[in-house]
Structure 1
Amino acid sequence: MNKTVNINLAGIFFHIDEDAYLKLQRYLEAIKRSFTDSQGRSEIIADIEARISELFSERVKHDKQVISVKEVDDVISIMGQPEDYLVDDEIFEDEPQHKTYSKSKPSKKLFRDTENSYVGGVSAGLGHYFGIDALWIRIIWFLLIFGAGTGVLLYILLWIFIPEATTTSEKIQMTGEKVTISNIEKKIRDGFDNASENLQKTGDKLKETFDNASGTISESVKNIDFNQKSNTIKSSSKSFFDTIADIFMFFLKIFAKFIGVILVFTGAVAVISLIISFLSSNLVDNVHIPGVDFNELSIASGAPFWLFSLLVLFAVGIPFLMLFYLGLKILVNNLKSMGNIAKFTLFGLWLLSIIGLIIIGIKQGLSYKEEAKVIKTEQLYNVTKNDTLFITMQNNDYYAENFRRSFHNFDEGFNESGEKVTYSQGVRLIVKSTRDSVAKIRIERSSRGTTYNVAKDRAENISYNYALVNNELKLDNHFLIPNNNRHRDQKVEVTLYLPVGSHLFADKNTYNYHSNNSYRYNDILDHGMESNFLEVKNNSLLCLDCPNNDDNDDDDFKVRVDINNDNAELKINDEGFEAKNKNSQVVIDDNGVKAKSEKVNVTIDEDGIEISSKQKDN
């Protein structure tokens, strides 16, 4: 059993076991001893610790993971041993240098190089990344900005999203070198050497200026002014574009905060509403998804209503809860993480809820598998060939008050006795003609179910009424089902067969119920025929009191043609078919077929076929 030590390495906390801690401590002490007399020692040590912290962070999978000796050995193999490097000035000469133990090829990382920048360091960073001079990158930007016109936006986006190389480790990674002890020291010492060289040059220039003050004052001043102006232009351009970037980032942050407020508000309102609806047991009434009826799904599942509501609560509420959390993360920078346990728990509940709702939806689909019909036909002896039948739809004053057909909606109401009823207005009215002498009515009740017998039982439980009083047929505009019966596409179809020659008067409240646009119904009562007296023809209705009605055989269709200079006539109506010319005639009607010419007569009827010829007189 090993002890665990908590350490702070470059501002990051790690859990490390005691053996690994002692090895890391010896390693850092050895590095410090190696740089005892080195210039910039504190900066070198700080950057080495920062790099070691980065390598540890890459290997830590979660907050509670403990760093072992293996991780420390991996870091040492990458960084190298202190004794492998010479730390005096000779390290920068042409003598051979030892390499680290890491076999991995160094890879470049994209950063902005602000030390060699004129605006934001994007061009210099891209130059390092692609291994070309930054001048060519700047030329490309010039062409994009003044040529294609898209360079400004692209530059601003890269400026925002590409991080700046601030640490020594990042500056080394930007050039593609390995972040080792030697390279960190070399980078820092290069910085000190460059600073010393710049100071030396400045001193020499000042000395030269003072020594030649008598003869070259104006020229020296010009040179000094040129250098100062160059530095001033560079500094001013950098400050200008930095200010633009700060302004842009300011508005970007405001927009992000605005999005965060919207997400927090939306998520909070949705979650609170769902919880209140669930507690008040009307969640499925308040959640609406196009094409989905939660009440139907609840009834189809056979599961307790509270369980179905709970599934809906989790399936809909958890995504809104995550939106609320995302909004808080945008608004609060240091918001504590939710934690993996909470995230996986919420995801598991959401997934189980979705699966449960899918299973319920499948069960509902299977409950519509089979269809069954119950048909009842009765004679209407009061309505014969010479009678007039009045048709009207009859509503209920306590429920089903309006006259509008609906096949998929089931509503609940109370009858005159105060009893609860479940009803639907899915009633279809069809009118057809018949050659029988007496009218008849056909009531078809249909429903669906998992099996044929189940569907038939539901169809038989449909209650539909009509009444024939004298010559007035009163049809209910609704039907009833048992309150505990499931809604499975129950509907009623009323087909009325009227004798040819009888008359019909349909009340205007039948308009919605005989809305049968499909040809398969063969309904002869069309829209617009309501509130008119109609005569029943063979497969049609003739309006007797419509405006501009022509009484001269409007149902006849006549065509006259000229054939071989002989006048011919073709007549088609509900009585039959007749074609004739000067010398011959063909008649097809209810009595049969008759054809005659100058020489032959042909008769086909119920008695058989008779053919006779005519003899000319001598």
Structure 2
Amino acid sequence: MNKTVNINLAGIFFHIDEDAYLKLQRYLEAIKRSFTDSQGRAEIIADIEARIAELFSERLINERQVIGNKEVDEVISIMGQPEDYLVDDEIFEDEPQSSSSQKEKSNKKLFRDTDNSYIGGVSAGLAHYFGIDAIWIRLIWILLVVGGFGTGILLYILLWILVPEAKTTAEKLMMTGEPVNISNIEKKIKDGFDSVSETVSGVAKNVSDSVSGAAKKVDIKKQGNKIKSSSRTFFDTLADVIMFFFKIIAKFIGLILILIGASTLIALIVGLFSLGAIDIIPGTDLVGIVNAGETPVWFASLLAFLAVGIPFFFLFYLGLRILITNLKSIGKVAKLSLLGLWLFSLIGIAIVSIREASEHAYNEHYIEKMPLETRAKDTLIVSFAENDYFKNPFYRHDAFKVASNPEGKKTIFSKDLRIQVKSTTDSVASIKIEKSADGRNYEKALDRAKNIEYSYAFNNKDLVLDAYYSTAISNKYCEQEVLITLYLPVESVVYFEKNTESFLNYRTHSNNIVTSNQVNHYLTIGSDNVICKTCETEKEEESFEVNVDMPQVKINDKGIEIKTGDKQILKIDENGINGEVETVRVKIDSTGINITSDEKNENQ
């Protein structure tokens, strides 16, 4: 059992083993002693601690992990031993020849170099990353702006927003590809102070001898910050303004992402737990009816929940990270686990979908044909019986419903029926009931078709059909359909009542000779058509007579001619307009043509 200690290193809390803590403490004390008289000692120590905290964070799998001697030794090997770097000016002339820190190969990272910037430091940062002079990058930007119709400006702004600024010494070293160790941190910071000191010295030479003594005692750090603050450019201010508005937009986007992600997740969770009440919520039992592949409903719902919910969870998490900058990460283990579950759900949905689609791969028909005692010259009246399973029994649709049959068993009922009529040379009429259904193979499809129950009643000349078919729930709903074909002898008569209209085809095809607009008429069966005498009578009744004494209008390719009886009163053709009766007036407007005769005082 080892004792652990909580430490705060560069503002980050760590749990560290007591022995590892003592080793780290001795290491940091040795570093501080090495820089006792060094210029910028506080900044060097702060940057070293920040780098050590960063290295520790990279090695932690989760927040509760305890740092041990192994992690401390790894960090020390990267940063180097304090005794390897003498705090002396010679260290900047000759680099240490033997140091374990030199074994580290540091990869470059892309940052914005604001120390050498004209606008936002993007060009200088790219120059460090690609190892070329910044002037070439700036020339490329000019070419993109001029030759790319301004696309270079948009690209520059995007990089300005997305690429972070190199603020710390460690980031500036990573930007140039140098190893982030004690030697390089010290060199970088001391170079910066030397630059500031030279600037201050140049100013001090122009000051009178009376204040030269005071200039020697000036606080270098304070003066350096003052000079840096006073050299703030217009583009720096512009950058702050732009970033301020982008931060506001980002917060707004984060809020939208949170609302979308949260509302979707809540809806998915409610939907998932609703499956437990599948027998209580009306209509939810239909889910199992259409599930021909017989995949457990709870399993399919869980796959759908994971496939949709995990992306929206990350969307919600992204919104939180945008709004709360210091939000802790959920950890790599959790991210990889969620990714694995998401991939598993996608594969599962693909398998379930293929299994369900296979249940509709084949379609088979089962036919029953029975004679009807209807002969030539006989009349057959066809109608649909009323039923208790559908509120409107006379309207055909493809939907189905689940209800209890007379025996009290839950059964699938559907009105997916169609009727067609064909003539036959047989002396007796017949009815053919063709049932069809889908299945994963021909045998399964045929079995489902056979299990469709459909009935009718024939009494003398009345054929009463059921307006639905039924099948057991175990057959599932697999595109079951019933086609009723009436084979009627030539010269027999058939009469379809109004309630059969929606079940008849609206046109003739495939030897079908009766259409839906011929209901409520006595139809005489011909060899390949029907004769409807009452249909013709209706057409005659709908026609109207034209009074010959009224003005008549004749329009053809020659022009317009208006006559009253045999007398021409107005003619419009290529020769112009000719009229013989002054009492006739013609008015043409948006309502049409209005012709008025004073003699008759009527309109046509």
Shorter chain as denominator, the TM-score bin is 0.7 to 0.9
1:436 aligns with 2:437: no
- Change in Cα spacing, 1:398 to 1:24, as seen in structure 2 (3 Å) is closer
In structure 1, the residue matched to 2:287 is 294
State whether structure 2 residue 517 is matched by structure 1 residue 524.
no
CA positional deviation for 1:447: 4.8
Matching residue of 2:31 = 31
Check the 8 A contact 1:278/1:309 in 2, yes or no.
no
SS of structure 1 residue aligned to 2:233: helix
In the superposition, the TM-score normalised over structure 1's length comes to 0.71
Alignment partner, residue 59 of structure 2? 59
Q: Deviations over 1:361-405 (max 9, x none)?
A: 666556667776654433322x22222333233332563624333
> What letter matches 1:204 in structure 2?
K
Q: 2:410 touches 2:472 (CA, 8 Å); kept in 1?
A: no
Give deviations 1:218-241, integer Å, cap 9, x for gaps: xxxxxxxxxx99997853442233
SS in 2 for 1:301: coil
* Alignment of 1:480 onto 2:473: no
**Deviation, structure 1 residue 34:** 1.7
Say if 2:375 and 2:427, in contact at 8 Å, map to a contact too.
Answer: yes
After superposition, the Cα gap between the structure-2 partners of 1:64 and 1:529, relative to the gap in structure 1 and judged at 3 Å, is same
CA distance in 1, matches of 2:304, 2:107: 50
Structure-1 separation of matches of 2:143 and 2:186: 39
Matches of 1:487 and 1:502, distance apart in 2: 38
Change (3 A) 1:92 1:251: same
Paired amino acid for 1:159: W
Change (3 A) 1:449 1:146: closer
**Partners in 2 of 1:180 and 1:229 — Cα distance?**
28
User: Would you say the 8 A contact 1:263–1:326 is kept in 2?
Assistant: no
Taking a change above 3 Å as real, the CA distance of residues 325 and 283 of structure 1, as seen in their structure-2 partners, is: farther
Change (3 A) 1:64 1:513: same
State the shift of 1:203 in Å: 1.4
Q: What residue ranges of structure 1 are gaps of 5+ in the alignment?
A: 212-227, 288-292, 551-618
CA contact (8 A) 1:461 1:482 kept: yes
Tell me the secondary structure at the aligned position of residue 512 of structure 1: helix
1:167 aligns with 168
Q: Which residue does the alignment assign to 2:110?
A: 110
Spell out, residue by residue over 1:332-366, the C-alpha distance to the aligned partner (whole angstroms, 9 max, x if none): 44556556787788778777777777776666556
Three-state SS of the structure 1 residue aligned to 2:420 is strand
Q: Give the counterpart of 2:375 among 358, 367, 384.
A: 384
Segment drifting more, 455-464 vs 178-187:
455-464
The worse-fitting range, judged by mean Cα deviation, of 174-183 and 464-473 is 464-473
State yes or no: 1:405 paired with 2:396. Answer: yes
Give distance in 1, aligned partners of 2:333 and 2:175.
Answer: 38
Higher mean Cα deviation, 101-110 or 182-191?
101-110
- After TM superposition, list the pairs within 5 Å mapping 1:119-158 onto structure 2: 119-147=119-147, 148-158=149-159
Q: In structure 1, the residue corresponding to 2:206 is in which secondary structure?
A: helix
Aligned-residue offset at 1:197? 0.9
Q: CA deviation at 1:35?
A: 1.5
Q: Is the 8 A contact 1:431 1:497 kept in 2?
A: yes
Pick closer, same or farther for the CA change 1:263–1:176 going to 2, 3 Å: same
State whether residues 265 and 324 of structure 1, in contact with CA within 8 Å, keep that contact through their aligned partners in structure 2: no
Measured against aligned partners, the alpha-carbon deviations of 1:51-79 in whole angstroms (never above 9, x if no partner) come to: 22222222333334444444333333322
1:170-249 paired onto structure 2 within 5 Å: 170-207=171-208, 235-249=233-247
Structure 2 Cα separation of the partners of residues 209 and 518 of structure 1: 117
SS in 2 for 1:524: coil
Alpha-carbon spacing, 1:284–1:158, altered in 2? closer, same or farther (3 Å):
farther
The alpha carbon displacement at 1:200 in A equals: 0.9
**Change beyond 3 A, Cα 1:312–1:59:** closer
- Cα distance in 2 for residues equivalent to 1:318 and 1:231: 47
Give the alignment of 1:418-497 within 5 angstroms: 422-447=412-437, 459=449, 461-482=451-472, 486-497=476-487
Kindly state the Cα deviation for residue 199 of structure 1 after the two structures are TM-superposed.
0.8
CA contact (8 A) 1:281 1:306 kept: no
The separation in 2 between residues aligned to 1:344 and 1:96, in whole angstroms, is 43
Deviates more, 1:249-258 or 1:321-330: 321-330
CA distance, structure 2, for counterparts of residue 239 and residue 87 of structure 1? 38
Distance 1:233 1:327 in 2: 37
State the Cα distance separating 1:309 from its structure 2 match. Answer: 6.7
Instruction: Give the partner amino acid of 1:187.
Output: K
Evaluate the alpha carbon distance shift between residue 260 and residue 476 of structure 1 in structure 2; reply closer, same or farther with a 3 A threshold. Answer: same
Mapping for residues 24-103 of structure 1, pairs under 5 Å: 24-93=24-93, 95=94, 97-101=96-100, 102-103=102-103
Secondary structure of the structure 2 residue equivalent to 1:271 = helix
| CA distances 1:562-609 after superposition (whole Å, capped 9, x unpaired) | xxxxxxxxxxxxxxxxxxxxxxxxxxxxxxxxxxxxxxxxxxxxxxxx
Match of 1:534 among 519, 523, 526: 523
- CA–CA distance in 2 between the matches of 1:329 and 1:229? 36
How far apart in 1 are the matches of 2:292 and 2:347?
Answer: 17
User: How far, CA to CA, are the matches of 1:497 and 1:73 in structure 2?
Assistant: 95
Q: Deviations over 1:277-336 (max 9, x none)?
A: 64475579479xxxxx72325576386x77777777667666666655555554444556
The aligned amino acid for 1:100 is S
Aligned residues: 524
* Alpha-carbon distance, 1:541 to partner: 3.0
Letter of the 2:153 partner, please give it.
V
1:504 and 2:494 are equivalent in the alignment = yes
> 1: distance between equivalents of 2:211 and 2:336?
75
Name whichever of 312-321 and 84-93 sits farther off.
312-321
User: Mean Cα displacement is larger for which, 309-318 or 386-395?
Assistant: 309-318
Contact 2:43–2:189 (CA<8 Å) still a contact in 1? yes
Checking the alignment, whether the CA contact within 8 Å between 1:285 and 1:295 is kept in structure 2 is: no
TM-aligned CA distance change 1:106 to 1:233, over 3 Å: closer
Contact 2:369-2:432 at 8 Å conserved across structures: yes
Aligned-partner Cα distance in 1 for 2:408–2:22:
87
Report the Cα offset of residue 243 of structure 1. Answer: 1.9
> Aligned-pair distance for 1:202?
0.7
* Partners of 2:240 and 2:103 in 1: CA distance: 40
Q: Matched residues, percent identical?
A: 49
Contact 2:169 2:188 in 1 (8 A): yes
**One-letter amino acid matched to 1:265:** S
Q: What letter is aligned with 2:243?
A: A
The 8 Å contact of residues 272 and 301 in structure 2, kept in 1 or not, is answered as: no
Q: Point out where structure 2 has 5 or more consecutive residues left out of the alignment.
A: 213-225, 540-604
Shift of the 516–375 alpha-carbon distance from structure 1 to 2, 3 Å rule, reads: farther
TM-score by length of 2: 0.72
Paired residues of 1:264 and 1:328 also in contact (CA < 8 A):
no
Hey, what's the Cα distance between the residues in 1 that align with 2:144 and 2:284? Answer: 54
Asked whether the equivalents of residues 260 and 316 of structure 2 are also in contact (C-alpha less than 8 Å), the reply is no
Name the CA distance, whole Å, in 2 between partners of 1:399 and 1:547: 36
Change (3 A) 1:329 1:163: closer
CA deviation string 1:115-149 (max 9, x = no partner): 23333222222232233343443444344445531
